[in-house]
Structure 1
Amino acid sequence: MNSAKLSFVLCAAASSVICLGIYISSRARKPEPRGWRFDRAKCGDYPDELCAALFEGKAAAAVIGAECEQTHGPETRGGEGEGEGGEGEGGEGGETAVNCSRLLAAHNYITETLSREEADFPLAYILTVHKDLPTLEWLFRAIYAPQNLYCIHVDNRSSAGFRRGVQGLAGCFPNAFLASRAERVVYGGFSRLQADINCMEELAPSPVRWRYAINLCGQDYPLKTNRELVRLLKTQWKDKNITPGIPQPDHVKQRTSHVHREYISPTESYVIKTPARKSETVPHGLKLYFGSAYYALTRGFVDFVLRDKRAKDLLQWSRDTYSPDEHYWVTLNRIADAPGADPNAEWEGSIRSIKWLDQTRVAHNGCKGHYVRNICVYGLGDLEWLAQKDSLFANKFEVNSHPLVAQCMERWLRPRTLSQSEVPIRQGWRIKNSACFFDIENNDCNR
């Protein structure tokens, strides 16, 4: 081969290597989807148009959001305990008093009743919590209204820091308080039911003329505004309780036919099914039902729960059953003379939307976040599904794991809330930077 041919071959080979390198490099750099130019250095303030695109199911927005969460999100996810009764987390909340003015300003709390309709129909909330202060505070500011009441039950197993943080949060609002009697809640145990009863005992004598009691855990979030909730309860339910459920199916009868015990140790807790069968029959010949542990109950029904002998006897009988909150409320609401009762009710009334793992491709399109105990912790790809649901609330969320989900949910709900107001909108009520999650320990906005 002469020198000219050799030079040509070497040049062509070198060009091929260079071109291949450029091709591989261009393939490795994924271009941003057309239509958005999103600086990932500014991921802390997620653009409104991207949130809107996520609720419309546009995949390109989810790609950008996922990259942003991976780049700027926390290195580890939240705890794996259930929102209703897992282990508490330490290091949350501080020794110093919360700067309430800074808290209210940082999170744009609505400090005035927005309509006469809402003023005439106050709600009472029961929040049972044990961990994750940022997610709780994010939920609280979404459901907060000055005419409502809020009883927060903090699990006795929670860290001292978490309790201080919740106490500091509640202390900023005259209509919020911690339950004075706290249970050591065991998931699936009687203690979870007792926690709600403890709050009811403190809400019942309140001079505030609240109309319904609604229970939540710390990882819920509303899908409706306060005014939409009020209208639904006034018009569709008309002083009826919402306790979705059916007659007790055969596959859950062992929950109430056998004696169950709560097991608690320094490191774990759970409910044990014993071989012993319950000797007592269901009091007063009541027919057991099975359904949701979450409800919307009229004030008259709450008084009935606390005072009626049938309700008290069923509560006592339920102490050694499994997950009694899934039969207690729904059974009492089928008693014909109970206030607000609906003896013929079944699954009517969607209290919460949940993506259960075993319902994938049956009731939903799969979890786009991650699962905790077979329940989806929502990711950005779940927002379209959530926006289409007609439930009152959804579960489960984690602000630290999916901060952009939290931002988008706020930006979806708050404008709708303000659009329904009959009073002038204050600038401080508008979400300015929902990437800011108030750090109660440092009394500042934590990005």
Structure 2
Amino acid sequence: MSNLSTKVCFFILGMSVVICVTMSTIYLKSSTSEAPVTMATMQNTTKCRAFPDYCTPFLPPATEGKQWHQRDCLSEDYIAEGVLNCSLITKDFHFITEPLSQEEREFPLAFIMTIHKELETFMRLLRAIYAPQNIYCIHVDAKSQESYKASVRHLVSCFPNVFLSSVSEVVTYGGFSRLKADINCMKDLVSLRVPWRRVINLCGQDFPVKSNLELVRQLRSKAWRATNMTPGVRQPNYMRYRTEKQYQEVMGGHTVPKGEGFIKAPPPHDLNIYFGTAYYALTPAFVRFVLENSVAKDLLEWSRDTYSPDEHYWVTLNHLVGVPGSNLQGKWEGEIRAIKWIDQQGSVHDGCKGQYIRGICVYGLGDLQWIIDRNHMFANKFDSHLFPEAINCMELWHRHKVLQQAQVPVRPEWRIATEKHTISARR
């Protein structure tokens, strides 16, 4: 943990968090001869995106005589090839650098982000949820390419409140390693002693729908101010195969049954197993219970050879009497993720406009209005290579909403899209 204590410099005075910013220069591709790249030079390259006209329906009409304009230079090619100066990166990439309201300042959030690919998508997700009063633990899959891990490491070093998990897992789909990645970050977050009020977990293909202010207000509401958010129900019969048989991870690939005869023992402490989402918003007291309580530890160990244990672990513990912030009567409340499951087509949604992968919709442009109307905390899944237009417009819509809600003067560099006079109007 020594690397974390030297990386993060927080001084807590009352309810404020003062961040000691490290003004160091990072290099995503080793080079000592190139000069630092600024926004002025970046805008002369082809790597800067102009405003996509197909996003116009997701923004309010431009003022008469003006049109929406964008020169966003955040791209995977640029990150991999460019020379980034830490003192310029927040401005050049439009990061918001101060709390936008007193409410947010007084209710810092912690985020766990589990990623393994798509550097640009990670950066766009980070800047969408970034606020200087929050804290971010990034778990990079140990099997990711070395160049990817190096790029993330360098980028993270530019932010005093963003750090890499001290232990990295080889994450396997449906395996215990996915649950362990979150546990690793929780240990790091608790050890830092930063006064975060809730921890929210994300994967690299999530994107926010609500603003940070809306998240804070939801989590401070009467329904959730003292309660963990772990959507789920008592384990249905058709899901019991996940915890009645023993499974093993094919390292870095997938999770499979061990075979006939490998049957699970009953859960420890005669626990009733629940089934829900892998996503949550948890109180600090609940996290400490997870890390320290013998019941939680025993359930964790028992879950090691189950299938997709992150979909039963959190929700099961959250239905126990006496657990901090438990929700004994909780079901699917919380609206934590907007997801289009293939088996819900025709009932919950009208179909995927992008592409189904493993039964989940990777969103296309035609899915965005459904996401906006649902107004969940986050939406899943986006893929900047398959359907870049979807995340382009989602980001523009989200940033516009965030700045509309700001209770401090908005700095020009926080805007990703701005209004500019048309050529005819200037004449």
TM above 0.5: yes
Identity of aligned residues (%): 51
Kindly name which structure, 1 or 2, has the bigger radius of gyration based on alpha carbons.
1
- Contact 2:108/2:133 (CA < 8 Å) preserved in 1? yes
Aligned to 1:316: 301
Partners in 2 of 1:161 and 1:193 — Cα distance?
A: 25
Partners in 2 of 1:55 and 1:253 — Cα distance?
A: 45
- Contact 1:46/1:407 (CA < 8 Å) preserved in 2? no
CA gap of 1:426–1:269, structure 2 versus 1, over 3 A, is same
- Pick from 363, 366, 374: which aligns with 1:389? 374
Deviations 1:126-174 (A, max 9, x none): 0111111111111110000000010010111100011011112211110
- Pick from 108, 113, 117: which aligns with 1:122? 108
Alignment of 1:26-425 (within 5 A): 44-46=49-51, 50-53=54-57, 94=80, 98-235=84-221, 236-264=223-251, 268-278=253-263, 280-425=265-410
Q: CA deviation at 1:372?
A: 2.0
Letter in 1 for 2:51: Y
- Contact 2:342/2:356 (CA < 8 Å) preserved in 1? yes
CA gap of 1:320–1:55, structure 2 versus 1, over 3 A, is farther
Q: CA deviation at 1:378?
A: 1.1
Partners in 2 of 1:271 and 1:166 — Cα distance?
A: 31
Letter in 1 for 2:243: T
Higher alpha-carbon deviation: 401-410 or 219-228: 401-410
Point out 4+ residue stretches in structure 1 off by more than 4 angstroms. 90-97
- Contact 1:261/1:274 (CA < 8 Å) preserved in 2? no
Partners in 1 of 2:49 and 2:355 — Cα distance?
A: 21
- Contact 1:122/1:209 (CA < 8 Å) preserved in 2? yes
Deviations 1:369-404 (A, max 9, x none): 222222211111111111101210001111233222
Higher alpha-carbon deviation: 330-339 or 356-365: 356-365
Give the paired residue count.
357
CA gap of 1:154–1:350, structure 2 versus 1, over 3 A, is same
Deviations 1:84-137 (A, max 9, x none): xxxxxx999659874224432332100011111101100000011111111111
Q: CA deviation at 1:275?
A: 1.8
- Contact 1:110/1:145 (CA < 8 Å) preserved in 2? yes
Q: CA deviation at 1:422?
A: 2.0
CA gap of 1:45–1:93, structure 2 versus 1, over 3 A, is closer
Q: CA deviation at 1:432?
A: 3.7
RMSD over aligned Cα, in angstroms? 2.4
Letter in 2 for 1:359: Q
Letter in 2 for 1:396: K
Q: TM-score under structure 2 normalisation?
A: 0.79
Aligned to 2:6: none
CA gap of 1:406–1:279, structure 2 versus 1, over 3 A, is closer
Deviations 1:206-231 (A, max 9, x none): 23210101000001000000000000
- Contact 1:46/1:404 (CA < 8 Å) preserved in 2? no
- Contact 1:124/1:148 (CA < 8 Å) preserved in 2? yes
Partner SS, residue 347 of structure 1 = coil
CA gap of 1:176–1:263, structure 2 versus 1, over 3 A, is same
